[in-house]
Amino acid sequence: MNVSKWAIAAVVLLASLPAAAEYPDHPIRFITPAQPGGTTDILARLTGAKLTESLKQQVIVDNRASANGVVAGEITAKAPPDGYTIFMAYHQHTINQALLPKLPYHSVNDFTPITQLTAAGVILVVHPSSPAHNFQEFLAWTRNYKGPLNYGSAGHGSGGHLAAELYNMMAGVKSSHIPYKGAGPALIDLAGGHYQFAFAGMLAAQPFIKSGKLRAIAVTSPKRAPGLDNIPTVAESGLPGFEVLGWYGVLAPAKLPKPITMKLYTEFTTILKQPDVRQKILSEGADPVGSSPEEFRQFMLADLAKWAKVVKASGAKAD
């Protein structure tokens, strides 16, 4: 993707439409589907503060942590499309569309994509006593495991749950889900040897890996993760096409006027290029993205279609 091409197009469009110059003239609400202090909240506050500086209007982070992001999504979808309500969406946003038959909005059609901010794989981990030291050994071990084969996750419908179900489908493995109330408890029990494997977030898993309490097998991104260059991807290690990405991006209500969409797109992609923002993203094992609004829309549609297949095949249910 050529970010500069889109940025130039945005500047030309904004210059030709005087109404865009009037935006914003009062504070912007940045709805965030998380409690203060987590990765989602930190990214929203970091980019929101930068947006406050560049737009000369206060960007107020509004934490609405409930129902896997559904409450925050519904507030955004029903807000006026005027640029004064934006939403820090993450990968659960498209998973919810596949998982929840009564979702009060459509995860793509009822929003205006602004840009995808980041992308990061998750990491496959096992207990140190496992005979699997690499992905080929893990594949053979799980395919030939004698007795109940279990994996843990942060809960029904979580990214780790569906990543493991995608592995079951693509590898021809039969393993069962043990849901926990959060990634921390799930990884503590894996470190205690209570089940066999997990697909976990980079930040949650790294302390366990560094302390030797868990062994890293592979990452699920299309390329190796920043700072984890010694850990190969699943796709390069014996399961081509296997890819699971956690992501963050900015959405607004549907039918946001194009001049405002492009202004926000330009602002956020400029923020992603700032050294402190880029370093913060890379330090968390993620890559900055900065896709165009249409590219982000197509990415979400593809993500939704992938997880719809996994949910249907596995019979996964939400809590």
Q: How confident is the model at residue 29 (pLDDT cuts 50, 70, 90)?
A: very high
Domain for residue 319, yes or no?
no
**Pair (102, 135) in one structural domain:** no
DSSP annotation string for 220-275: -SSSPPTT-TTS-BTGGGT-TT---EEEEEEEEETT--HHHHHHHHHHHHHHHTSH
Q: How many folded domains does the chain comprise? A: 2
The Cα–Cα gap between 158 and 96 comes to 9
State the amino acid at position 118 in one-letter form: T
Q: Give the Cβ contact number of residue 305 at 10 Å.
A: 12
Domain for residue 231, yes or no?
yes
Domain for residue 294, yes or no?
yes
**Pair (71, 140) in one structural domain:** no
**Pair (270, 301) in one structural domain:** yes
Domain for residue 31, yes or no?
yes
In this predicted model, what pLDDT tens digit does every residue of 37-90 receive, in sequence order?
A: 878 898 999 999 999 999 999 999 999 987 789 999 999 999 999 999 999 999
Out of 28-37, 46-55, 288-297, 307-316, pick the least confident.
307-316
Q: Which CATH number fits the domain that encloses residue 184?
A: 3.40.190.10
The Cα–Cα gap between 206 and 250 comes to 27
Average pLDDT, the chain: 91
Q: How confident is the model at residue 18 (pLDDT cuts 50, 70, 90)?
A: very low
User: Residue 160's closest CA among 259, 91, 232, 79?
Assistant: 91
Structure tokens at 202: 């980079």
Is residue 292 classed exposed, middle or buried when 0-12, 13-18 and 19+ CB atoms within 10 A define those classes? buried
Containing domain of residue 134, as a range? 123-237
Q: How confident is the model at residue 10 (pLDDT cuts 50, 70, 90)?
A: low
Domain for residue 228, yes or no?
yes
**Pair (115, 127) in one structural domain:** no
**Pair (41, 15) in one structural domain:** yes
**Pair (251, 281) in one structural domain:** yes
User: Residue 243: phi, psi to the nearest 5?
Assistant: -150, 130
**CA dihedral defined by 195, 200, 157, 46, rounded to 10 degrees?**
150
Residue where a domain stops, chosen among 186, 204, 237: 237
Q: Is 290 helix (H, G, I), strand (E, B) or coil?
A: coil
**Pair (194, 276) in one structural domain:** no
The Cα–Cα gap between 298 and 313 comes to 23
**Pair (60, 134) in one structural domain:** no
Residue where a domain stops, chosen among 237, 258, 287: 237
**Pair (110, 211) in one structural domain:** no
Domain for residue 61, yes or no?
yes
The Cα–Cα gap between 221 and 58 comes to 35
**Pair (33, 86) in one structural domain:** yes
Q: How high is the pLDDT of residue 1? A: 46
Residue where a domain stops, chosen among 175, 207, 237: 237
The Cα–Cα gap between 153 and 168 comes to 14
What's the DSSP call for residue 69? G
User: Residue 222's closest CA among 133, 290, 120?
Assistant: 120
Out of 116-130, 257-271, 301-315, pick the least confident.
301-315
Q: What percent of the chain has pLDDT over 90?
A: 72
**Pair (254, 220) in one structural domain:** no
**Pair (138, 70) in one structural domain:** no
Q: Which CATH number fits the domain that encloses residue 28?
A: 3.40.190.150
Instruction: Find how far residue 86's CA is from the centre of its chain.
Output: 17
